[in-house]
Amino acid sequence: MITKKVLVIDDEADMREIARIGLEVCNGWRVLLAASGAEGIKVATNEQPDAILLDMMMPQMDGTATLEVLQGDAATSHIPVILLTAKVQAADRQRYAHLNATAVVTKPFDPLMLGDSISQILGW
């Protein structure tokens, strides 16, 4: 069985850790972590993860700006990006729909079910 490699980009250390533990323990995946959009772009370019979980609300470079860079670069444009957000009002959902992200996962998420959700979204 091939192990999946997932990059979690989130400025909150707790969220990165919760996602990492859930994906490593429940799914046996290799999890890469980045604390900012800029760091996440570097990691994605160098490591070529199978998927990216991207927080929308971050200082400096938010999820939208990060996603635009990832999608605009041939080195990372093929990597599916799943948005992580606590903002799920109708207007927010409409805005996310225009971003060409693969899916949106609502925070807080169940860390034990996160990998199953990702697998279902991406058909793994």
Across the chain, what does the average pLDDT equal? Answer: 94
Tokens of 77: 């444009």
91-107 residue pLDDT tens: 887 888 889 899 999 99
pTM of the model: 0.95
Tokens of 123: 């058909």
Position 41: which residue type? I
Q: For the chain, what are the domain ranges?
A: 5-118
| Contact indicator for 62, 51 with CB cutoff of 8 Å | no
- The domain defined by 5-118 folds into Rossmann fold (3.40.50)
pLDDT at residue 1 in the model:
58
Position 123: which residue type? G
Position 77: which residue type? S
74-87 residue pLDDT tens: 999 999 999 999 88
In which element (H, E) is residue 102 found? Answer: none
14-31 residue pLDDT tens: 999 999 999 999 999 999
